[in-house]
Structure 1
Amino acid sequence: MSEVFRLADPKDAQKLQDIIFRAYQLIRELGLHWPAATADVAVVEDNIVSNDCYVLEYAGDIVATVTLSRQDEVKQLTEHPFLKWFALDPDYKGRGLGSKLLSWVEEHVIRGKLGASAVTLATAEKHPFLVQMYERRGYERILEIMPHPDDGILYLMKKQLICEASTI
């Protein structure tokens, strides 16, 4: 099946809102106060316009999304690019498509286009599998924060993007 990686367009907002809402069901059940978890179409469209929102199309259908923030929301915590709003359509779980999108953004956008040596993201300690999932992808916990008392501890996580050695 064909895979296309691209920037989202505002016309994708409805589809992305549906994917994010369904993917973030557990986030809502855990009572985490993440803006993406309750975002309506207008908020998703604003995210697309205000940031670099990437999608993965699989067989012509958007199945995953992740946002590279252009906001100053974490500038006081990290100088590295910050990823947020990662979501995979639950109907496509277990096919490695979410991982493919993250890898593509890490390599082609963050390392390739931006020339950044590392990337960061944040996730909740109380989430049953996200911390471990990101650690398996090479992210390390670098800071504990508590922006909302009900969320408990959030980890700022960093992944060093290894540059290939040049050949002489």
Structure 2
Amino acid sequence: MIRPARPSDETAIRDCAISAYQQYVAIIGRKPAPMTADFAAQIMAGHVHIATDDKNQVVGFIVFYPDDDTTMMLENIAVMPDQKGRGIGKRLMAFCEENARQQGFSHMRLYTNEKMTANLSIYPHLGYVETGRRTENGFNRVYFEKNLSV
């Protein structure tokens, strides 16, 4: 099940982010941005949705919001490591894209760290095209975009 996050979900969301991104600390040389995000503010803004299992435990989450009049920004997506391979990430992505379409957005935008190499091959497989690389807040980011009207 995917639903909007509530303030009471913040600890579970943070635990999921830490579990999912911990493996990248040594590779990047510092905590990836999702490990230090202000989840309370993102939840209050309505930007966070969670995936839960049959026991209502958080198994993944996604953060997205309008970037401009035509584009929805996917800020963060994470799945608990012990839940990987079950299609949770794909369901969260599909949920985000469908939500964007329903709100009239024609494009999705996202970024990942250039050292998260698995993501660099996953996103193109899901129809995203690399649109640029930038250094922001000390992170080397790779931006992707997907046309939702195709």
TM-score bucket of the superposed structures, by smaller chain: 0.7 to 0.9
**Correspondences of 1:1-12 after superposition (within 5 Å):** 4-12=1-9
Give 1:17's aligned residue: 14
Q: Whose strand proportion is higher, 1 or 2?
A: 2
Equivalent of 1:61 in 43, 57, 60? 57
Equivalent of 1:131 in 120, 128, 139? 120
Q: CA RMSD in A?
A: 2.0
2:22, 2:46 → 1: CA distance? Answer: 23
1:158, 1:32 → 2: CA distance? Answer: 26
Q: Which consecutive unaligned segments of at least 5 residues does structure 2 have?
A: none
Give 1:37's aligned residue: 35
- Any runs of at least 4 consecutive aligned residues in structure 1 with deviations exceeding 4 A, and if so which? none
Equivalent of 2:82 in 62, 67, 91? 91
Equivalent of 1:142 in 126, 131, 138? 131
Percent identical pairs in the alignment equals: 25
Does the 8 A contact of 1:33 with 1:148 survive in 2? no
Does the 8 A contact of 2:130 with 2:142 survive in 1? yes
Equivalent of 2:106 in 117, 122, 142? 117
CA shift in 2, pair 1:100/1:139, >3 Å: same
Q: Give secondary structure in 2 for the equivalent of 1:81.
A: strand
Q: Which consecutive unaligned segments of at least 5 residues does structure 1 have?
A: 164-168
TM-score (norm 2): 0.87
